[in-house]
């Protein structure tokens, strides 16, 4: 038969200790950590601060500091707007995303995640089932700052921030000759 002293000692060992905070520590100590979710697209930038720009399955675009692992900024897109592509732009330093099967092209400022521009390059039917997914490429040359090239079916568009002249469009025929 177990003696009462041993029973109390065994119960105390199994119960474990309790942890608590003092009232003045409540705002100082935090055990939560922000995560971005399952990463589907990632691009890395090592100039200046080493960062990773990611797009997740939960429709989030985020910037991660590679030295500390912290989330620098995070933006979540609307429901039903999955991210299809992610590219880095050099001047200005920005991240461009294509989402909703090409219905939304956006550029985000790399430092703080502010939205630079938002465009609707493809109609919803152009990226439908059985068709190639729309593609996103960074612009080269003098097409303007924060510019991307969007491929929607047979159309090629250069998109960027609002300017005086409209976005350039090029339609490709079946034989590959521009109209």
**Mean pLDDT in residue range 140-146:** 60
Query: What tokens were used for 149?
Result: 């090239």
Show contacts of 78-82: CB within 8 Å, 24+ apart.
82/57
Token pair of 39 as six digits? 């990463």
Q: How far lies 52's CA from each of 41, 66, 119, 125, in Å? A: 10, 7, 24, 32
Residues 6 or more apart in contact with residue 9 via CB below 8 angstroms: none
Q: Kindly state whether residue 145 falls inside one of the protein's structural domains.
A: yes
Which residue has better confidence, 131 or 136? 136
Label residue 153 left, alpha or beta by phi (over 0 means left) and psi (-120 to 50 means alpha): left
Query: SS3 for 69?
Result: coil
Q: Is residue 45 part of a domain?
A: yes
Helix (H) or strand (E) holding 7: helix 4-15
DSSP for residue 150 = E
* Residue 7 domain-assigned (yes or no): no
Inter-residue contact 75 to 112 (CB < 8 Å):
no
Report pLDDT for 15: 66
Residue 110 has pLDDT above 80, yes or no: yes
User: Residue 140 belongs to what domain range?
Assistant: 35-171
Judge whether 87 lies within some domain: yes
* Residue 29 belongs to a domain: no
pTM to 2 decimal places: 0.66
**What integer pLDDT is reported at residue 164 of this predicted model?**
40
178: pLDDT strictly greater than 80: no
Instruction: State residue 144's pLDDT score.
Output: 59
Tens of pLDDT along 67-104?
888 899 999 999 988 998 899 987 778 898 988 888 88
pLDDT of residue 6: 76
Name which of 169, 102, 117 is nearest 147 in CA terms.
117
* Rounded distance between C-alpha atoms, residue 136 and residue 105, angstroms: 9
pLDDT at residue 170 in the model: 47
Look at residue 28 and tell me if it is in a domain.
no
Q: Are 88 and 136 in contact (CB under 8 A)?
A: no
CATH number at residue 153: 2.40.10.480
């Amino acid at each position: 038969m177990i003696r009462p002293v041993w029973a109390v000692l065994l119960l105390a060992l199994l119960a474990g200790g309790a942890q608590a905070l003092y009232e003045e520590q409540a705002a100082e100590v935090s055990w939560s950590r922000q995560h971005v979710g399952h990463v589907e697209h990632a691009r890395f930038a090592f100039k200046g601060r080493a960062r990773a720009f990611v797009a997740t399955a939960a429709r989030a675009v985020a910037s991660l500091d590679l030295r500390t692992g912290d989330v620098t900024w995070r933006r979540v897109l609307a429901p039903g707007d999955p991210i299809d592509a992610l590219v880095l732009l050099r001047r200005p330093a920005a991240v461009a995303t294509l989402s909703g099967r090409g219905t939304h092209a956006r550029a985000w400022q790399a430092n703080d995640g502010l939205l630079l521009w938002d465009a609707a390059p493809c109609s919803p039917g152009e990226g439908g089932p059985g068709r190639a997914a729309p593609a996103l490429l960074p612009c080269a040359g003098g097409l303007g700052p924060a510019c991307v090239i969007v491929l929607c079916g047979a159309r090629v568009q250069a998109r960027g921030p609002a300017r005086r002249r409209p976005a350039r469009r090029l339609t490709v025929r079946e034989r590959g000759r521009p109209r």
